[in-house]
Amino acid sequence: MKKLLAIVLVLVLTVSMLAGCGGATGSSSAASASAPASSAAASGSEAPAEAEAPAGWKPSKNIEWIVTSSPGGGSDIYTRMIQDIMVTEGLVDQTILVNNKTDGGGEVGRAQVSATKAGDQSDHTLLTFNSGDLMPMLLNTQSRIDGFTPIALMAVDNQLLFKGEHTTYADFAEAIEAAKNGTVVVLGGSKGDDVATYQKMLEEIGLTESEMPYITSDSTSDAITSILGGHIDFVISKPAAATEYVEAGRLIPVIALASQRYGGALADAPTLSEIGDYNNVDIPVWRGVVGPKNMSPEAVAYWTDVFKQVSESDQWKTDYLEKNMLISNYMNADEAAAFMTAYQQDYMAKEGLK
């Protein structure tokens, strides 16, 4: 009797573990499954918009949306925000499963999407694709953007350079002078985009990496930790991650790494061309979506239209763009393909890749 009870308990434990895992991976579907009910009511008013969509291909099964970074990061929030809008606005009536595939620094997930065979599955697969994904892919693998079908470009961001409370330089011009006279001025920031901007900026102000070194952190928040502790002199960050610290007076914007100044609390920061005889450094950080190389043209047309509607929704504008101080920059499939290819060419030329 006792033995039987014990066996039952083990079974329950195992089942609950399995169920737990199932529930875990399925949680996004649970969220989206509950939403169609609420969106059904809303779809009455949406009906005209839907009628405009090209009648033709429509998703007929679950959509797998792959994100190659971990849950909770910028790319993940971006993806889940769009997923949420698609469901609440009733743009997609199938379940969207967001799948975080982080193996191999994201290369495994990208390779898998790229290689999806033509057919139903390739029409139901999406991949979050940002400039920060493209750069390591070009550097470390043979994959190129032509291995994917760009679907849309959703937003563009730029960076700023900030100084901290412990920074001894009044502004960046003074720091450039100091670096030219042999003092080490240490910069910091995140990986990918930030490094590219840093390199471009060095080239522009005519310093070498040993005169003005750069410390790569895993994330922007790690880099901000370093500057708050006074371990680096300047930090490169996107506006969204830094505004709270600017407001609290712990970070001071010194350079806008864009073609023009920012507004609001960041308006004091001049562009690079304002502080000396330099060109502005403007490397756009973009967020987009691509599909497998073999996605059918009908499916591409459907998806690019869905993303257009997302970019026009109020929720996208207020809850995502405004909150993160991003610039809306919707591009359809053709424009996005041209943009991403041009970006790839620039980057490869700079890194000396073939």
Partner 1 sequence: MENLQLLLGGFATVFTMQNVLACLLGAILGLIVGAMPGIGSLAGVALLLPLTYKFNPTTAIIMLGALYYANMYGGAFSAILLNIPGDSPAVMTALDGYPMATKKGRPGQALFTANMASCIGGTIGMIILTFMGPALAEVGLRFGPAEMAVLLLVAMTSIGWLVGENPTKGVVVTMLGIVLASIGMDTLTGSPRYNFGNLQLMGGIPFIPFVIGTVGFAQVIQLMEERYKETDARVDAKLTIRGSMLTRHDFRRLLPPALRSGFLGTFVGVLPGAGATTGAFLGYAAQKAFKSEEPLGSGAIEGIASCEAANNAAAAGSFAPLLALGIPGSGTGAVLLGGLMMWGLNPGPLLFSKSPDFAWGLIASLYLANILTLIIAIGVIPFLIKILSVPLKYMVPCITVVCIVGSYSTSNSMYGVLVMLLSGVLGYILNKNKYSTAPMLLSFVLAPMLESNIRKAFIASRGSVAIFFSSAICQVLMLVFFVIIFTPVFKAILKKFKKGKPTA
Q: Which of residues 216-245 bind partner 1 (CB under 8 A)?
A: 216, 218-219, 221-222, 224-226, 228-232, 243-245
Among 1, 5, 41, 51, binds partner 1 (CB under 8 A): 5
* 140 vs 260 by CB, closer to partner 1: 140
Among 49, 178, 215, 321, binds partner 1 (CB under 8 A): 215
Q: Residue 353, Cβ neighbours under 10 Å: how many? A: 11
Q: Does residue number 2 form part of the binding site for partner 1 (CB under 8 A)?
A: yes
The two three-digit tokens of residue 3, written as one number: 């033995």
Residues from 282 through 301 that contact partner 1 (CB under 8 A): none
Distance in Å, CB of 349 to partner 1, minimum:
19
* 78 vs 339 by CB, closer to partner 1: 78
Residues from 305 through 334 that contact partner 1 (CB under 8 A): 323
**Site track for partner 1 across 26-55, x = CB under 8 A:** -xx-xx------------------------
Distance in Å, CB of 140 to partner 1, minimum:
6
* 49 vs 195 by CB, closer to partner 1: 195
Among 36, 73, 147, 270, binds partner 1 (CB under 8 A): 73
Among 85, 175, 213, 331, binds partner 1 (CB under 8 A): 213
Residues 6+ apart with CB under 8 A from 101: 66, 67, 68, 108, 109, 112
* 97 vs 299 by CB, closer to partner 1: 97
Phi, psi (rounded to 5 degrees) for 82:
-65, -40
**Site track for partner 1 across 240-279, x = CB under 8 A:** ---xxx-xx-x-----------------------------
**Site track for partner 1 across 90-129, x = CB under 8 A:** ---------xxxxxxxxxx--x------------------
* 108 vs 173 by CB, closer to partner 1: 108
**Site track for partner 1 across 133-172, x = CB under 8 A:** ---x--xxx-------------------------------
Phi, psi (rounded to 5 degrees) for 241:
-75, -20
Q: Does residue number 10 form part of the binding site for partner 1 (CB under 8 A)?
A: yes
Distance in Å, CB of 136 to partner 1, minimum:
6
Q: Does residue number 18 form part of the binding site for partner 1 (CB under 8 A)?
A: yes
Q: Does residue number 191 form part of the binding site for partner 1 (CB under 8 A)?
A: yes
Distance in Å, CB of 188 to partner 1, minimum:
9
Alpha carbons 158 and 283: distance in angstroms, whole number:
7
